[in-house]
Amino acid sequence: MHNLWKGHSLLVELYSKLEALAEGNRLKILDLFNDVDELTPTMICTLTGISTPLYAHHSQVLKRAGFITIRKSGRMRIVTRNAEAFREVSNVLHSVYAEELEELRDG
């Protein structure tokens, strides 16, 4: 019974993380970090073309899911991507769906 609940909690966590990724503007935000390590919210809005209120909403979703961190530096906020969150998603997918992923890999 314990393993069943452990698996269930992994799926709930996976679902919430995938849900955070299932939106175009959030993917645009995360994609910016392929080229840089840190950005300010103003830079993110400028580079993605999203409004400040929309950024605020999406950044909170990404932060709750663990994909970004936001820290203060003086009067500025600095946003960074948390690579560990992506590894966690990958690990959960592999642990829960190992057989299915193996079948996909084998063709």
Name the more confident of 5 and 6.
6
Q: Residue 50: helix, strand or coil by DSSP?
A: coil
Alpha carbon distances (Å) from 61 to 21, 25, 57, 82, 100: 9, 11, 7, 14, 29
pLDDT score, position 92? 80
- Per-residue pLDDT of 33-83, as tens digits, reads 999 999 999 999 999 999 999 999 999 999 999 999 999 999 999 999 999
What's this model's pTM, rounded to 2 decimal places? Answer: 0.82
Nearest in space to 89 (alpha carbons), one of 4, 24, 19, 27: 19
State the Cα–Cα distance between residues 30 and 100, nearest whole angstrom: 27
Whether the predicted pLDDT of 6 surpasses 60: no
H or E, element range at 11: helix 2-21
pLDDT score, position 57? 97
What is the set of domains in the chain, with CATH numbers? 2-106 (1.10.10.10)
pLDDT score, position 74? 95
Of the listed ranges 1-5, 24-28, 89-93, the least confidently predicted one is: 1-5
